[in-house]
């Protein structure tokens, strides 16, 4: 965990890897300002995480917290096993877009505002 709710009991979990971690941390700060408790989990290697004891995995990703948002600028493939049925994934669903990076990030939702919006919706639906 890179950032956690002050109580250690998040309303929503933000998962990211690589350059997406900074985006999740910014969303975490925005959620905190709005009174929503979040946890940021950096998950650079699913394989290593999956090898950990169930107790550890459940501590990092408590089963009771079903509001989860994964952020992955590459493919969304595989993230569903960590966000579950009640979660959301911000990721690429297409191929071949060309534009300046900032424009592409906004187009595909790789912004703190989009991650924060999804997190708020999931918490409200929970």
What share of the chain has pLDDT > 90, as a percent? 72
Residue 21 has pLDDT above 90, yes or no: yes
Contacts of 36 (CB under 8 A, 6+ apart): 11, 12, 119, 120, 123
Which SS3 state, helix, strand or coil, does residue 76 take? coil
Average pLDDT, the chain: 90
Tell me the pTM.
0.90
Question: Which pLDDT belongs to residue 2?
Answer: 87
Residue 57: both structure tokens together: 């995995």
Residue 55 has pLDDT above 80, yes or no: yes
List the domain boundaries for the chain: 12-125
Residue 108's pLDDT band (cuts 50, 70, 90): low
Domain 12-125 class in CATH: alpha beta
What are the backbone angles phi and psi of residue 14, rounded to the nearest 5°?
-105, 125
**Which range has the worst mean pLDDT, 50-59, 77-86, 109-118?**
109-118
Identify which of 26, 34, 52 has the alpha carbon closest to the alpha carbon of residue 105. Answer: 26
Mean pLDDT throughout 80-107?
77
**Is pLDDT larger for residue 104 or for residue 22?**
22
Residue 76's pLDDT band (cuts 50, 70, 90): confident
Q: Report whether 13 contacts 36 (CB < 8 A).
A: no
DSSP string, 16-73: E-TTHHHHHHHHHHHHHHTT--EEEEE-S-HHHHHHS-HHHHHHHS-TT---EEEEEE
């Amino acid at each position: 965990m890179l950032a956690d709710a002050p109580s250690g009991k998040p309303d929503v979990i933000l998962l990211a890897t690589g350059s997406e971690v900074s985006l999740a941390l910014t969303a975490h700060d925005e959620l905190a300002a709005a009174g929503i408790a979040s946890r940021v989990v950096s998950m650079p290697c699913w394989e290593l995480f999956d090898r950990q004891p169930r107790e550890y995995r459940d501590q990092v990703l408590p089963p009771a917290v079903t509001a989860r948002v994964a952020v992955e600028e590459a493919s969304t493939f595989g993230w569903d096993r960590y966000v579950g049925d009640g979660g959301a994934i911000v990721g690429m669903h297409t191929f071949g877009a060309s534009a300046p990076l900032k424009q592409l990030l906004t187009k595909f939702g790789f912004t703190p505002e989009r991650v924060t919006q999804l997190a708020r919706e999931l918490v409200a639906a929970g």
